[in-house]
A and B are shown apart, each in its own frame.
Chain A
């Protein structure tokens, strides 16, 4: 945010159009660069959640999968909130062998699959 943007905000003027252009471009290019539609992305989110849910208990409604682009690298970022037991342990599903400990009451696993 630049000084001009702040003044425009204070005066309730429209932001300078260059920043609008930049934001719109970044969004449209993230989608142009992947050939993924929103439906496919959503289906993938469900399938990824199902796989992860075999090992740890996760909040099926919370997980988000999104595309992020930087330097011509598009990353598929999955953000999956893991549920915890009352004593702070990650809830593992039966066949997963090791138990992990942590002080926080929730933790996110970030998975990213990089492509061109």
Chain B
């Protein structure tokens, strides 16, 4: 079997520049049919640009991509028949009601008036928006708007769905709902490409994770592979007295198997095995080092990046606004 039949999305060497910015610098990715691929990266990494190219909204400067065997540039019309897109920012018509938004899409996709209304009702009920069906979308809360946006991209029962940061800015409850929805879709056989800034989200939903930074793929693998490379969790230790830092550092390094990162008196190290925590506690106790803070928590994207690239994931959009510092 070649890649085209096993994979719903295949991209090779995608390059996209905006003026001086290279948003994508040769991105390869492949998403197997019926699976979720998590595209993980910090702000400005190129996630949205990649999604827009795969959704036929942007043409790549170089490289190629196909969806369901159709080229996203040459066969854009066919690709559009296969895909659903939920962008980073909700793109519903705010002046229309929820149901009108869905009827609009249904009609554009060739459904009859009655079919479009029926499909709209069905989706609104599925996403718990039936009470708000006849309210204009501008009266919706952020979470409701996201759900309506997602419903709009599902009207045509797409085989391939793009979700660009579907949970960014949502409260934990809405986030959990969104995750359930994605799981349901995948169990119906939909292929999902999901972008996210949260390792936890990619870990929960995706069969495969592609980490990008500065428009380049810096790691690919299953969540387990990635976690074993970078540590799913981070152990953080702060000695009570700064003088104890060296001894704490050596104990943590011995137990965790790699040197911790020191930042403002806090020592952090990615760990794969939760048993590290009690082990560290025991060793610190034996050494009689008083501890100010000790915790095991999920690794942030920042820590994943640190482990993968040796540098912290900087937020490029913020960087650009910062004036250059001139040394005194």
A and B physically associate: no
Q: Write the residues of chain A forming the contact surface with B, with a CB cutoff of 8 angstroms.
A: none
